[in-house]
């Protein structure tokens, strides 16, 4: 594709100099990957300024450089294009470069603090039950037909995202289910996708290290639903009626946007549960869809998974799947890896690995497990480094309030002192004494499972599906699920 063909995708771009009649090989935002005839996009990030790599990409033979600061142009040779926001320009130009694959897929975007991953997995299964080939982009992995790729981030950078979408089109996918993070929305990484369906799961405190305030966080999430409000082919909003932020989203939308609300507490909505019973085997009762009642058999644990399932029901319904087919499939769905994933020893100890990494998520997972526990409920939990400090004492407070015993340990400390993170957690427990601190995560899991007696439940929270631990800039192989399996296997039947 010629550079001149890409430029209209970024209408605010100004050509500072150079030839537009260039054949483009690839679009790059990582200077280390730039090769001959690539386009490099330079923007100021949180830690690095991409403009500083302009001399390097000139040496690598870049055909063009899209930049935000015209005063930082490098030597003559590449074509220079100035834009207000190079990250957004990358997303728009990548969509054009890959032939607008987003327009060839039915797109379902899922956003919220908790539940995105499980809702995405459930939605994908419901769509597949109707015979659709579905692509998935999310926190755990990217799925392209039968091909599975590891996920580098929940929502990829614009060029990576549209490349994945193009691969899905080539793999004959008809639909796309994707988790859409607040960061991606705020940074314009998902431009210029026009979602057919937008799903809101909930909003609780998280990512304030980036957004600053809850209001900013909410406004970023709301962008997904503003995207649905189009004069041409408006989309469908699927909203969690039990969360107050849903009402604000609902009020902001025009009548052109169809709204499907779901609830586990209310009955004045389009999708809700009735006579729900929760057990270690799952959830039973009724689900009412658009006024009609269906028997519900859901092999997932807890009320928040009922909520996730109803969100997926709404998404599938909005995508055109028949209600009867949806309900039939709910009986055989599986959750996402590392989301309330259960393991058991031969002597009756249960361990549950979950991604809970906010105080709300910790509270909910412990509330789910408490009625299923016939002994003590023990939680192993930590907080990430270089992230929102204010949620650390809140997570610890939730842990000691709802578990019989809490072990505070490392999560992904990154560049922070583990002891400092643990101090921040302990500051939130007040006079509680039902906790200990053990910086080494593997040792903490081992201790919890060694202390456990038959009938106890051990919740290992925070990392879920993750297969590495980030400490001081290094990623070391570590998987909570593997550690749990190892230490459960070491138990002997008394």
- Structural domains in the chain, CATH included, are 3-97 (3.40.1390.10), 101-330 (3.40.1190.10), 341-489 (3.90.190.20)
Which are the contacts of 122, defined by CB distance < 8 A and separation ≥ 6? 308, 309, 311, 312, 333, 335
Cβ neighbours, 10 Å, residue 93 = 32
Per-residue pLDDT of the chain (494 residues; tens, 9 = 90+): 999 999 999 989 999 989 999 999 999 999 999 999 999 999 998 788 999 999 999 999 999 999 999 999 988 899 999 999 999 999 999 999 999 999 999 999 999 998 999 999 999 999 999 999 999 999 989 999 889 998 888 899 999 999 999 999 999 999 999 999 999 999 999 999 999 999 999 998 777 777 789 899 999 999 999 999 997 889 999 999 999 999 999 999 999 999 999 999 999 999 999 999 998 789 999 999 999 999 999 999 888 899 999 999 999 999 999 999 999 999 999 988 898 888 989 899 999 999 999 998 999 999 999 998 999 999 999 999 999 899 999 999 999 999 999 999 999 999 999 999 999 999 999 999 999 999 999 999 999 999 999 999 999 999 999 999 999 989 999 999 999 999 999 886 54
Pairing type for strands 175-179 and 106-111 reads: parallel
Supply 66's token pair: 């899209």
375 burial level (CB within 10 Å; 0-12, 13-18, 19+) = middle
Nearest to 135 by CA among 112, 114, 104, 113: 104
**Contact (CB, 8 A) for 245 and 237:** no
Spatial neighbors of 100 by CB under 8 A, at least 6 apart, are none
C-alpha dihedral, 441 to 378 to 360 to 181, nearest 10°: 40
Q: Check residue 34 and report its DSSP letter.
A: -
pTM, whole model, 2 decimals? 0.85
For residues 351 and 457, is the Cβ–Cβ distance under 8 A?
yes
> What DSSP string describes 250-269?
HHHS-TTSEEEEEESS-SSS
């Amino acid at each position: 594709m010629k550079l001149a063909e890409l430029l209209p995708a970024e209408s605010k771009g100004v050509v500072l100099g150079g030839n537009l009649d260039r054949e483009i090989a690839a679009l790059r935002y990582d200077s280390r990957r730039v090769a001959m005839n690539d386009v490099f996009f330079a923007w100021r990030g949180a830690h690095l300024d991409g403009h500083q790599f302009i001399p390097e990409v000139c040496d690598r033979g870049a055909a063009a450089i899209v930049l935000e600061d015209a005063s930082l142009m490098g030597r003559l040779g590449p074509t220079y294009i100035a834009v207000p926001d190079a990250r957004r320009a990358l997303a728009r130009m990548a969509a054009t470069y890959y032939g607008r694959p987003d327009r060839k897929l039915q797109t379902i975007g899922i956003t919220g603090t908790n539940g995105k991953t499980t809702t995405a997995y459930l939605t994908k299964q419901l769509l597949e039950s109707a015979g659709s080939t579905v692509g998935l982009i999310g926190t755990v992995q990217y799925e392209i037909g039968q091909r599975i790729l590891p996920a580098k981030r929940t929502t990829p950078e614009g060029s990576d995202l549209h490349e994945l979408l193009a691969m899905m089109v080539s793999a004959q996918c008809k639909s796309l289910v994707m988790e859409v993070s607040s960061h991606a929305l705020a940074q314009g990484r998902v431009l210029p996708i026009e979602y057919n369906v937008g799903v809101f799961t909930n909003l609780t405190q998280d990512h304030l290290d980036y957004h600053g305030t809850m209001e900013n966080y909410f406004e970023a999430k709301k962008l997904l639903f503003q995207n649905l409000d189009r004069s041409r082919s408006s989309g469908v909003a699927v909203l969690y009626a039990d969360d107050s932020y849903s009402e604000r989203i609902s009020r902001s939308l025009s009548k052109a946007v169809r709204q499907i609300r779901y609830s586990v507490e209310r009955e004045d909505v389009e999708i809700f549960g009735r006579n729900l019973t929760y057990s270690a085997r799952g959830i039973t009762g009724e689900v009412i869809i658009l006024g009609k009642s269906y028997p519900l058999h859901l092999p997932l644990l807890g009320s928040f998974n009922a909520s996730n399932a109803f969100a997926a029901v709404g998404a599938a319904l909005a995508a055109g799947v028949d209600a009867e087919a949806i309900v039939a499939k709910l009986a055989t769905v599986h959750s996402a890896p590392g989301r309330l994933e259960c393991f058991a020893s031969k002597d009756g100890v249960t361990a549950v690995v979950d991604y809970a990494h906010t105080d709300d998520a910790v509270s909910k997972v412990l509330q789910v497990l408490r009625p299923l526990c016939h002994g003590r409920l023990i939680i192993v939990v930590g907080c990430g480094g270089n992230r929102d400090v204010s949620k650390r004492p809140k997570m610890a407070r939730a842990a000691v309030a709802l578990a019989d015993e809490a072990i505070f340990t490392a999560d992904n400390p990154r560049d922070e002192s583990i002891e400092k993170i643990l101090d921040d957690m302990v500051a939130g427990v007040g006079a509680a004494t039902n906790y200990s601190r053990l910086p080494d995560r593997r040792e903490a899991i081992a201790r919890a499972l060694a202390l456990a007696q038959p009938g106890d439940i051990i919740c290992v929270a925070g990392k879920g599906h993750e297969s590495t631990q980030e400490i001081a800039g290094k990623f070391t192989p570590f998987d909570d699920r593997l550690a749990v399996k190892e230490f459960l296997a070491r138990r002997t039947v008394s």
